[in-house]
Amino acid sequence: MYDMKSLAKIKKLEESAPNAFEAFFAFDKAAMAPGTVPAKYKELAAVAVALTTQCSYCLQVHAGRAREAGAGDAELAEIAAVAATIRAGGAITHATHLF
């Protein structure tokens, strides 16, 4: 099911709901633009989110962009550990509802 070629079908979504997708793309562009937080940090954050949401498309896109922004293997490995601990921490803290 996962195939980067499927992203070409986003155009069909955009054609079918132009207002919503225009707003989404504008929001995405604004959120990911360099600002107070540099582009590399935003892309590393996006990698962490992609790992926790397990979106293979986002992971491939944002890992590539993080590398283009200067992130190396060590930074990607550390951000993977951050994502893992946050995801595990969510399970631990939610486990308190068991008692």
Distance CA 94, CA 92 (A): 5
**CATH number of the domain bearing residue 58:** 1.20.1290.10
Tell me whether residue 5 is in a domain: no
Q: Which two tokens stand for residue 35?
A: 């600002």
Quick: pLDDT tens for 39-71: 999 999 999 999 999 999 999 999 999 999 999
Whether the CA torsion 54, 56, 58, 64 is positive or negative: it is: positive
State pTM to two decimals. 0.88
Domain count, the chain: 1
Tell me whether residue 25 is in a domain: no
Distance CA 99, CA 96 (A): 6
Tell me whether residue 32 is in a domain: no
The residue range of the domain holding 62 is 37-99
Tell me whether residue 27 is in a domain: no
Quick: pLDDT tens for 3-34: 889 989 999 999 999 999 999 999 999 999 98
Tell me whether residue 63 is in a domain: yes
